[in-house]
Structure 1
Amino acid sequence: MTTTRDATPPAVRDARDGRRLPRRWRKAVLVTHVVSAGAWIGIDVIVAVLVLVGWFGGDVQVRSLAYRALATFVVWPMLASGLLALVSGVVLGLGTKWGLVRYWWVAVKLALNLVLCTLILVVLEPGMGAVGTYGQELLDGAPDPAAVSTLFFPPAVSLTTLTLATVLAVFKPWGRTGWGRARRERVEGRA
């Protein structure tokens, strides 16, 4: 079996299909994107484990430690990994044929990332003080369960959303957006 090479110079091929990033840079940014998204998922798993230990851990000291760890260590690493996934995703979108809004799966992933990062700042972070206080109050014997009654939702929502984003990245459903179809028609009209 023989393969034929495209005689078109790489710069022309790259411009034609919308790629702007050199291959090595694209791969480096893609690795950054995948690793940061994986870290985000890992941090969410840790959050879920800490919430479950806080709820069902038998020893009061262990439960208290789980809540205090949530309050102290979760928000900023989660936000940092989310923002790194966002920035690397934007760079990939701008520097590859996929674009930011040419394909539905990319646009939806972008929107999901923006929503999750916003929720971290607007919903999760402001409540962490109360979670830490609850952890301390567990040791003192006078906790207010309202402070942790909704802690199930952040890891459940985030893990579900990040799993959906991963599925979108693998299967790339739904085709082109209106902008993507218009761009394709312009490019093909010139070719």
Structure 2
Amino acid sequence: MVIGWVRAGDDRTAVYRALADFFVVPLLLSALAAGVVCLVTGVLLGLATKWGLVRYWWVSVKLALNVIACVMLLLFLGPITELASGEQPLQDIWFVAFLATTAMVLLSFAMVLSVFKPWGRVRK
């Protein structure tokens, strides 16, 4: 394993480049894999169980939240790669923190929907 040390006087963008090189690709691959697996298993379970995909409101909302979370993951990547270039790092860090927090709230809400199953059936 290669470990790089950055002294206070060194170029700060080296840290951002290292973050982009060693963190973004594994994060992207694992998160996309988890998002796709979650989406596929959710659709399969929706089709194979009594809950259906669009039979109940909470299932439909969970499906939409999963798609939104996957899109947010793709949006998350842009600012991290811009951090590597050293352009406006503070603004990008706040945007990344906003996306991460929003995704966590969305997925927590989806979990609550799974437990309480509110809103009843969708009208036909």
For Structure 1 versus Structure 2, the TM-score category normalised by the shorter chain is 0.7 to 0.9
- 1:131 lines up with 2:65 in the alignment: no
- Give the Cα separation in 2 of the matches to 1:144 and 1:127: 10
**Structure 2 residue aligned with 1:64:** 15
**Structure 2 residue aligned with 1:103:** 56
- 1:83 lines up with 2:28 in the alignment: no
Q: How does 1:1-191 map to 2 (within 5 A)?
A: 64=15, 67-68=19-20, 69-121=22-74, 123-134=75-86, 144-145=88-89, 146-179=91-124
The code of the aligned residue for 1:174 comes to: W
Unaligned runs of 5+ in 1: 1-58, 135-142, 180-191
RMSD across aligned positions (CA): 2.4
- Secondary structure of the structure 1 residue equivalent to 2:95: coil
Deviation at 1:129, TM superposition (A): 1.6
Q: Count residues with an aligned counterpart.
A: 111
Identity across the alignment (%): 39
Deviation at 1:110, TM superposition (A): 0.2
Output the TM-score relative to the length of structure 1.
0.51
Moved over 6 A (4+): none
Deviation at 1:74, TM superposition (A): 1.5
On the 8 A contact 1:67/1:132 being kept in 2, the answer is: yes
Unaligned runs of 5+ in 2: 1-6
Q: Larger relative CO (CA 8 A, sep 6+): 1 or 2?
A: 2
